Structure 1
């Protein structure tokens, strides 16, 4: 169980190239983010590596870890290592997690999402995942109910030592998800679609977490 307030985990849209850099820099410049997931569209390995090299430092220079996922098949271990990322993020597949753990050793983190059941979550934790992400949008864009994500994150945070991330589809849900004792609250579209810009959204989320920590 977390002893301190949750930290923010930022998820980008699926990126075709490095043109997203200014928006990412604005978000990371708030200094409120613990980790960033770069979601990359499928490309050849050199192109993916170059994207990571261009984007990762924008987060890392502000103290955020950078993880990489790719839409489609790619050698994530190579892309992360050569691009200078801090880790990789994959859908829930224990065999793939074990393979990545063998290749990356303890040098880079492995995060896992798209987790369907509690049994799957436990298998992924045993396979060597460094964190589990609950509640992110499904491939069709739909979302699990807030109640189900709160229940799953609370269950995991209470029983297991491996950190978990709870996805917040809106700023209004940050408080409830942080109350689960999840180590991280993830934000995606709620940041990028905010009418006042990414920095304003992240500052508002950080204030919610600060208030919650102060009330503990």
Structure 2
């Protein structure tokens, strides 16, 4: 029996606001038509809950009509992201550098099969704690809100370790297109593409999808 192919996840830029929505929607439609993306992680700028709900309602159809889940992240938001997801029609929420207690609280509050994801985790101990909290995926890599870039080799090593041992799926995020092939080879269930890869054009998504297809071919 052949192993299932890795799927893509698209990461938006950080701090997306209403003024960026139209351009982002157009880019998402192009990118999602070019590859098999399981999800989009939408990284919102903090605002009031009502404004965030309205923004999510604008963006969700472009993602979900293509068969991809929409997962919300909002660094620095002091409100209720679970409520924003539910009212906006998103499929789940994502936390970076979360406390285990926060993940357990969110797991208990997320209803109707909504997704809980965690990222920004750089130690094996913290990764295992997050996995035990009932998350649906663990993300390794991805640009931080301040623009700092995780070490690509560290991302690859943690993803390979996790994918080999644990059943909870992981996303291994490429910060540059040249990193995609090595991340596919880790066995991670998902490879994330930073916005700098896919926003310039859907061609990069198509190339990433082709790499995945080749990795699944029988030698």
Report if TM-score (shorter chain) is over 0.5: yes
Query: Residue 60 of structure 1 aligns with which residue?
Result: 64
Decide which moves more: 45-54 or 103-112.
Answer: 103-112
Matches within 5 A, 1:170-185: 170-185=176-191
Matches within 5 A, 1:83-122: 83-91=88-96, 92-105=98-111, 107-122=113-128
Deviation, structure 1 residue 128: 1.1
TM-score (norm 1): 0.92
- Structure 2 distance, partners of 1:6, 1:148, is 20
Query: Residue 151 of structure 2 aligns with which residue?
Result: 145
In 1, are the aligned partners of 2:49 and 2:79 still within 8 Å (CA)?
yes
Deviation, structure 1 residue 215: 4.4
- Structure 1 distance, partners of 2:58, 2:134, is 29
Query: Residue 191 of structure 1 aligns with which residue?
Result: 198
- Structure 2 distance, partners of 1:24, 1:71, is 21
TM-score (norm 2): 0.91
- Structure 2 distance, partners of 1:179, 1:159, is 15
Q: Which runs of 4+ in 1 moved over 4 A?
A: none
Query: Residue 134 of structure 2 aligns with which residue?
Result: 128
Describe the SS at the equivalent of 2:72. Answer: strand
In 2, are the aligned partners of 1:31 and 1:62 still within 8 Å (CA)?
no
Describe the SS at the equivalent of 1:214. Answer: coil
Deviation, structure 1 residue 105: 4.2
Describe the SS at the equivalent of 2:86. Answer: helix
Query: Residue 200 of structure 1 aligns with which residue?
Result: 203
Deviation, structure 1 residue 107: 1.9
- Structure 1 distance, partners of 2:53, 2:131, is 28
Gapped regions of structure 1 (runs ≥ 5): none
In 2, are the aligned partners of 1:132 and 1:165 still within 8 Å (CA)?
yes
Query: Residue 215 of structure 2 aligns with which residue?
Result: 212
In 2, are the aligned partners of 1:5 and 1:178 still within 8 Å (CA)?
no
Query: Residue 52 of structure 2 aligns with which residue?
Result: 48
In 1, are the aligned partners of 2:95 and 2:119 still within 8 Å (CA)?
yes
Gapped regions of structure 2 (runs ≥ 5): none
Aligned-CA RMSD value: 1.6
